Amino acid sequence: MPAIAFETYRSYDDDRFVAEEAFGSDRAKVVCGYFEPGQFIPVHAPDSDVVVSVRSGTGVVREGETTHRVGPGDVVAVAAGTARGVRADDDGRLEALLVTAPPPSDGDHRAVRTGLERGEFDPDAADDRTEEA
């Protein structure tokens, strides 16, 4: 696998998070994720495991019913089929490395596209801003 330099891939978009693929194979996909304040990957449950490694900034990673507060150096692993999402805090950018295995299908990300279109982090939650302690 090639070395991944976050600075090489760094890109931000005012409208939605940016996912820059750094590596891909039929067994795994590595993405550098860049989030402006408040941006998110909507909660969804694809058929792949994911590891989220926070490089900078703060936010939350949803793992099923648990919401993890995360910051630089934190790592959250979520098993395939478990609902997951990532959201940057409202007061700063978030950068994270996301590794999925196997790579999610286009169908797996249908819920992501829908959540982004609706502006909803967790469309199934009564209040998607509520976090567990």
Residue 43's CATH number: 2.60.120.10
Separation of alpha carbons 8 and 79, rounded Å: 29
What total number of domains does the chain contain?
1
Per residue in 88-103, pLDDT tens?
A: 999 999 999 999 999 9
User: Across residues 79-91, what is the average pLDDT?
Assistant: 97
Is 6 inside any structural domain? no
Amino acid, single-letter form, for residue 23 = F
Is 125 inside any structural domain? no
Is 130 inside any structural domain? no
pLDDT score of 30: 95
pLDDT band at 110 (very low <50, low <70, confident <90, very high): confident
CA 53 to chain CA mean position, Å: 10
Is 64 inside any structural domain? yes
Instruction: Report, in angstroms and rounded to the nearest whole number, the Rg of the chain calculated over CA atoms.
Output: 14
Is 123 inside any structural domain? no
DSSP characters over 47-89:
SSEEEEEEEES-EEEEETTEEEEE-TT-EEEE-TTS-EEEEE-
- Is 126:58 a contact under the CB 8 Å cutoff? no
Q: Which domain holds residue 35?
A: 13-118
Is 56 inside any structural domain? yes
Is 132 inside any structural domain? no
pLDDT score of 122: 87
